[in-house]
C-alpha cells in the first residue's frame, strides 16, 4: 500500500531512502540510464525489494534473465522476493521462460503496458526497456503520450535505458518529461571502481535528495550507500 506522500522504499539495511527523497512520487514516470554494467539492474532490484517490503504493489519485467535467474540473483543480494512472488504480492515477468526458453515473438511496449500485471500494479519496472523500445515504430512524442496516459491512471512506471540502444531523441524526450531521472555512472579511481548514482531530476520529493550518491554492492547485504564516495 502506498502513502499519500508517495511510494515508500525504505529499508533498515541501508540509507538510500534518506538520500533519495524518502518516497518515489506517485503517478510518475522514472527514467534510469546507464551503460551495461553501470548498476541499473541492481538499483531497480533494491527499489523493488524496498517497495514490496513497504507493501507497495510492484511488478518487474526483465528482458535479461529468466524468472528463476532473477529471483536467485536478488536472493544472493539479500533481497528475497520468492515468497512475495508466490503469494501474489509481487509479480515478475520475463521475456524468457522459467528456465531458459525464450518466448516466441517480439514483446513490444504496448504488450507490456496492456498486461494485467502492469495494469494492476502501483509501480512497474521494465529492465531493460531500451531493448524493447529500439523496435518502437512510433515517434518519441507518441511514446511519451502513451506512457503519460498509463501513469495518469494511478500507476507509476520505471524504465531502465541503455543510451546505446535507443536514439538520442527518444532518450531526450523521455528524460525531459520524467518526474525522476537517475543516471548510473562508473569510473576508475586509484585502481578501484567508483559507482555513482547521479540524480538529474527528482520532483515532489518528500525529503532530502543528494545530487550524487556513492554506492557499492556487497553479497547478502545488497546496495550500500558509500559515505566515503562523492555525494
Which residue ranges make up each domain of the chain? 26-188
Give 194: exposed, middle or buried? Use CB within 10 Å, 0-12, 13-18, 19+.
middle
User: Which one is the CATH code of 26-188: 3.30.365.10, 3.40.50.300, 3.40.50.2000, 3.40.50.150?
Assistant: 3.40.50.300
d(CA 159, CA 173): 13
The sign of the CA dihedral 138, 141, 145, 151 is positive
Quick check: 229 pLDDT over 70? no
Q: What is the percentage of the chain residues whose pLDDT exceeds 90?
A: 80
Q: Name, in order, each residue with C-beta under 8 angstroms of 72's C-beta and a sequence gap of 6 or more.
A: none
Answer yes or no: is pLDDT of 231 > 50.
no
pLDDT band for 101, please (50, 70, 90 cuts): very low
pLDDT at 203: 97
Is 0.85 surpassed by the pTM of this model? yes
Amino acid at each position: 500500500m502506498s502513502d499519500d506522500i508517495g511510494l515508500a522504499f525504505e529499508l533498515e539495511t541501508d540509507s538510500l531512502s534518506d538520500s533519495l527523497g524518502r518516497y518515489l512520487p506517485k503517478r510518475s514516470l522514472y527514467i534510469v540510464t546507464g551503460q551495461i554494467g553501470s548498476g541499473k539492474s541492481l538499483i531497480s532490484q533494491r527499489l523493488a525489494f524496498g517497495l514490496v517490503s513497504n507493501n507497495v504493489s510492484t511488478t518487474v519485467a526483465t528482458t535479461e534473465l529468466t524468472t528463476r535467474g532473477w529471483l536467485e540473483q536478488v536472493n544472493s543480494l539479500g533481497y528475497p522476493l520468492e515468497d512475495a512472488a508466490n503469494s501474489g504480492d509481487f509479480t515478475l515477468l520475463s521475456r524468457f521462460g522459467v528456465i531458459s526458453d525464450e518466448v516466441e515473438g517480439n514483446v513490444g511496449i504496448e504488450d507490456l503496458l496492456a498486461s494485467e500485471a502492469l495494469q494492476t500494479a502501483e509501480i512497474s519496472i521494465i529492465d531493460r526497456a531500451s531493448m524493447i523500445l529500439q523496435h518502437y515504430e512510433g515517434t518519441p512524442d507518441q511514446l511519451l503520450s502513451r506512457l503519460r496516459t498509463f501513469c495518469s491512471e494511478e500507476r507509476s512506471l520505471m524504465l531502465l535505458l541503455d543510451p546505446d540502444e535507443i536514439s538520442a531523441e527518444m532518450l531526450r524526450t523521455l528524460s525531459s518529461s520524467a518526474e525522476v531521472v537517475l543516471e548510473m555512472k562508473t569510473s576508475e579511481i586509484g585502481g578501484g571502481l567508483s559507482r555513482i548514482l547521479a540524480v538529474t531530476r527528482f520532483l515532489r520529493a518528500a525529503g532530502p535528495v543528494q545530487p550524487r550518491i556513492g554506492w557499492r554492492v556487497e553479497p547478502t547485504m545488497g546496495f550500500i550507500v558509500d559515505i566515503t564516495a562523492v555525494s
